[in-house]
A and B are shown apart, each in its own frame.
Chain A
């Protein structure tokens, strides 16, 4: 008798309650020991039917809901929606409001990236950098609270401008923060980014080629990490971004191939630097004046459909809005970067270790609420 030893795949249920799926995402993974053979993302645990709610509320009434689409960058989501409606009703926000929008949105981008790189570091087992980055994020929250009155869901940027002007002395506070944060970020880089153990974990892992990135429709930092220089702030500029001087960081394959997990991580670190540059310029250039354009109490945009692209920390976020000329949208569709990031995980995870899957999820910066909406 010649019996061959056969092994079975072990099917493991990773999530919805798992420490590193950040929110409620579930993966069904088939493993051979530690090596993943199939990874099946299962989404929808955080579906709150925000798009359907939009059809029932007024145009202004939907702004607070956009906060909840992606609670890590509520300002950007506010802005994207407001921009879409402004375009529909032909209102232009005052110049000072546009600058305030850029400032708060870039601050929010920084805080969102801090969470992204912090959680990646935490998934790699480095707990301290995560907490230290949360501390820096608290300072950003303080700043945003001074401006808007809220720490997480701001509802600050509204149709026609911003809710309120920045308080007196806010820009000095912000400059103080930028100076502090520059140093703190360098410290964090020494702690994590240039750590050899961390580099070994991230480099050459889950390489996304430019073709693959485009085929899976990756956006934002995930796409740029693959070496494709694409950023809505540059390609389809909005607001005052054309006047500002900033770079679009792309993945250069610093420690391995272009498009690996380390590149995705490092692009976010670089984007934080660019955001600081934008902030510095804006604080110098910001003019005096009104912060709110005249907008009617009851908005009734003309019938038709509109699509607005906006660069959130998760990348090119699109708001497709169909109006039938009434006081609420006929249909609203949000296109999010997390969804495409999620769709590529199954492909990337094949043949990697379980520990790598955690790194891949972290490096793609998948945010559960934005994924399911």
Chain B
């Protein structure tokens, strides 16, 4: 057990999830530090999303334990939920509400003061040119805007840990770049960000990554170090080399 456990945001011990006879996540051991941008890489069905869902307290592990934001995920899942933000690839927004109404709704259920929620939202949305007072419904926004709004809604309660499940799928390269800028800034402010992605170029932006295959972690470390170890020029080739 490392003595730097005080600075750890996530620590998992043999975290395992089985669905019937299928093992989705197999004895995952991870230690993620505060302020890290940590990437889960892997093909579809490699167990990334299952791992994330367990860490969010959405899914009960079959065996093993995990402590996330000082909460045990099995026994303190409700307390955990006040400390984390979560954004899924489906951008869970209410399309028939306006931008502001979405923000108000999520601030309401997180019991965040309205004025504070609105100023957080203002700050995150204005640089993309999204007008909080707009009467337009969310359904009419471009995907990049929806992504930003979904991120905003998951940050209203100022969580220390943010889970992003394939946050950039379907979004154009420019919006992806802008999105990663925001993620970097969040990390600079001390937030821990967990990202799953299958875009290998995005893996380069992460401080550390874990590459998963068939529920197991097959590589773990800084992208630069991993590339060196396997003497490949980029993450794409590293991934293909490891997976094949």
A interacts with B = no
Instruction: Report which A residues bind B (CB closer than 8 A).
Output: none
Instruction: Report which B residues bind A (CB closer than 8 A).
Output: none
